[in-house]
Amino acid sequence: MTVVLVGMPGVGKSTVARQLAHSLGVPLWDSDSVIERRLGTSIREYFASQGEVAFRDLEQRVLDELMDGAPGVLATGGGVVLRAANRRCLHERGTVIYLRAAPEFLFRRLRHDTRRPLLQVADPLARLKELYAERDPLYRESAHFVMDVLRSSRGLLIHRILMQLELMPDESGGVSVPYPDIHEDVAS
């Protein structure tokens, strides 16, 4: 089964996915990279010329193709959960981990990033708060586990994900033990 990372823009999905795939010895896919290779242009440029609906249609097709492929680790775009069909696809065909972080944390990471079309507004922090309010319930709906990235160093986060995956049922129908939200403070 494919391990899928979902979460807000800038939370670290691609970076964590790369390290997780390496640790597991499985292929890595990044849906945004696949989309950009297919388009031959950046998502930002495609978004500007074709609009969000056209982008979301393409994103849905790419997600479906990736989830049909060989098992691996998949980093998704931040808005992949906006469509109900995508949320069902993710939850039913993958092990979904929601990497959660507060909008203020994300703003500090993204304030100078010009590649993200939804954040090219007068008040990006306010926009991040709006996106978080809209998407957090959708990420939770899709996810099997929630990992708070603010409470762990990246190495500890990878370790916790690997430990949780060990508890997942195998093809013979083992028992899954849900991993709770992480709230304790851990030094970064």
From residue 152, give the alpha-carbon distance in Å to each of 20, 49, 121, 158, 184.
Answer: 15, 39, 30, 9, 9
Q: What is the pLDDT of residue 7?
A: 97
Domains and CATH numbers, the chain: 2-167 (3.40.50.300)
Residue 172 token pair: 């013979």
- The CA distance from 124 to 151, in Å, is 24
Phi, psi of 37 (to 5 degrees): -65, -45
At 40-94, the pLDDT tens digits run: 999 989 988 999 999 999 999 999 999 999 899 999 999 999 999 999 999 999 9
Q: What's the mean pLDDT in 110-124?
A: 71
Question: What pTM was estimated for this model as a whole?
Answer: 0.85
